[in-house]
Amino acid sequence: MIALSHRGNSKRHGSALIAVFWVVAVLGFAVFTGALLVRSDVDAILSRKELLAAEREADKGIALAANPLVEPWDPILQRRDAETGEGYEARVLSEGARFNLNTLLLREDRVVLKRLFAKWGLDPAEGDALLGALLDWVDADSQERLNGAEAGTYAGRGQPGLPFNRPFQSLDEVVLVAGMEQVEARVPDWRNYFTVWSSGKLDVNEAEADLIAMACGCSVEAAASLVKYRRGADGRENTRDDIPVRSLEELALELSLGGESGLEPGVPLRVSFVEPVERIESTGRAGNAVLRRTVILRRDGGRLVVFRVMDERGNLF
Ligand SMILES: [Ca+2]
Ligand SMILES: [Ca+2]
C-alpha cells in the first residue's frame, strides 16, 4: 500500500511537474510572442522612417537630374553616405528609347508592330488579331475592321464600355485590349517596349539594338554595332565620349546599309536622333529601404513640363 501510495504521490508530483513545465512553456511562448509583436511594431516604425528617408533620397536624385546644368554623366547623380548607407542613384534616359504605341497605331505602321509581335512569339494570326484590336481601340469610329475588336467583341467578353476609341493615355489602358492577355502571360515585361509620352519617333541614340532592328528592318547584329559605335571608346551609354548619330545617312552607314538609299522606305518616319522627352529614374536608399521613382518630363525652353511621376510599379503619385 505504502509503496503504491508512494508511487501515487510520485505520479502526482510528476503530473504537477509536467504542468509546471507546460505553464513555463506557455508563458515563455507568450512572452516570446509578445516580444515578437513589440519587435515587429518597432520594425514597422523603423522601416517607415527608413522608407521616408529613402523617398527623400530618391527625390534629391530627381531634382539634380532634372537640373539643366547637370549632364547625364555628372558624378553628382550618385551619392552614398559611407556611414549611414543613405543615398541615391539617378539616371537620365530618353523616352524615345521605346516605341510610341499611339504614333505607330495612328500612322498604321503595321510593319514594326508585326515584327515586335513575332519577336514576342505570337503566331501571324494572333499578331493580326492583336494589331486589329489595337487599331480599332485608337481610331475614332465604331466600325470593326477585319480581325479587329469593337464594342460588340468587348460586350461578348463581358467588358462593356470598351474600346475607348481614342489614343492610349497610359500603358495601363493597353492591358484592356482584346488579345493583350496572351502578351501579359508570355511577355511580362512588354511595357518596356512602349511609351505613350515620347514625341513619337524611336531615338536611335538611346534605343536598344532589338528595337532599332525592328524600326530599321536590319539585323540585330547590325543594330548592335550601331549601339557599340554610339557608346564611344568607353563602351558605356550616357558618358562624355558618346558619339551620337545625327542623320539618316550616318545611320545607314553605321548599319552597313551603304547609304541613306539603303534604308527601308518607312525608316525616316520611325526614327529620330534627339528626343525632348526624358525619363529620369532615381533610386533612393536608407537602411533596408529602397525606393525607386520615375519622372517623365519635357524640357520646353527653360521650362520643365512634367508628364508623370511614378513609383517602381508604375503607380502614379
Ligand atoms: Ca474604333
Ligand atoms: Ca560612352
- pLDDT by position in tens, the chain (length 317): 334 344 444 445 555 555 555 555 555 555 555 555 566 666 777 688 999 999 999 999 999 999 989 999 999 999 999 999 999 999 999 999 999 999 999 999 999 999 999 999 999 999 999 999 999 999 999 999 999 999 999 999 999 999 999 999 999 999 999 999 999 999 999 999 999 999 999 999 999 999 999 999 999 999 999 999 999 999 999 999 999 999 999 999 999 999 999 999 999 999 999 999 999 999 999 999 999 999 999 988 778 788 888 877 667 76
Query: Which runs of E-coded beta strand occur in the chain?
Result: 78-80, 87-94, 99-100, 194-195, 202-203, 271-272, 277-286, 289-300, 303-311
The answer to whether 272 touches 263, Cβ cutoff 8 Å, is no
Cβ neighbors of 229 (< 8 A, separation 6 or more) are 243, 245, 254
How far apart are the CA of 97 and the centre of ligand 2, in A? 16
Which domains, from first to last, does the chain contain? 1-96+276-317 (no CATH), 99-192 (1.10.40.60), 200-274 (no CATH)
Residue whose C-alpha cell reads 524640357 in the numeric block? 299
Q: Which ligand has an atom closest to residue 240 CA?
A: 2
Q: Which ligand has an atom closest to residue 236 CA?
A: 2
What is the phi/psi pair of residue 79, to 5°? -145, 140
Cβ neighbors of 32 (< 8 A, separation 6 or more) are none
How far apart are the CA of 268 and the centre of ligand 2, in A? 25
How far apart are the CA of 144 and the centre of ligand 1, in A? 7
Q: Which ligand has an atom closest to residue 227 CA?
A: 2
Residue 23, number of CB atoms within 10 A of its CB: 10
How far apart are the CA of 151 and the centre of ligand 1, in A? 9
How far apart are the CA of 244 and the centre of ligand 2, in A? 10
pTM over 0.85: no
How far apart are the CA of 87 and the centre of ligand 2, in A? 24
String of b and e for 136-153 (b: at least 16 CB within 10 Å)?
Answer: bbbbeeeeeeebbbbbeb
